[in-house]
Structure 1
Amino acid sequence: MRAPFRFPPDLLALERAWLDTYAGLAEGPATAGTTVLRRRLIALSGHLCTHPYWETPAGPGRTERSMSEQPTTPRPKTVPVTWAPSQTGPCARCHSATCRYGLGASPLCAACKALRQAQYGG
């Protein structure tokens, strides 16, 4: 069992101040001098994003890997377009250009279609 996860108190105080400032902006009318609150919100956002806590190595509850180390799905290679531009649309899975409309069209590009057939057969 993992130990309970705890944020540092100063980070929690920053978050509380940010939420209070945001609530103040949301509750007041748009014409009521909101410049001070908007500037405070921007400053607090900067402090939250650059807090030293985010630079610490992985601890309890933190991810063990950085985003660059996360496994990714390989993107299919680009295929030269051999159909009319009016029949082109994004693949439903990888969003690469594919023949979506007309004779022989499919919502999946050739690479995604092959993956799906390998996964489910047929």
Structure 2
Amino acid sequence: MSADPGGPRPADRFPQDLIALQQDWIGVYNRLARRRGEGSAAELRAELFRLSCRIGDHPHWVDGDPSRMGRTRLWQAAQVAPGGEPQVVVRLVDGRVVVTEPEAGGGRG
């Protein structure tokens, strides 16, 4: 099988509940990244931790690809699946946290 090494493979069919968990994770991450000091971030961080545990413990990984590439393919699939949203990019620039919104229709490149 000659597939693009960076692209999804046919074996990477993720269960809908796992896709939904990853979409929830991305949504919480984006809310945390976009907050501008209002309120406490502790609840959002706790939710990210809880979702990370649920994603990592999902039964799919018993037979699926639990490698970093497998997790990356899940992350990519969750963004493009119905109801998905691109994840924002967070960087530290000159000592400031800078949040970059994804390009419209482009996702992360």
TM (normalized to structure 1)? Answer: 0.42
- Greater relative CO, 1 or 2 (CA 8 Å, sep 6+): 2
Q: TM-score, normalised by structure 2?
A: 0.47
Q: Rg: which structure is higher?
A: 1
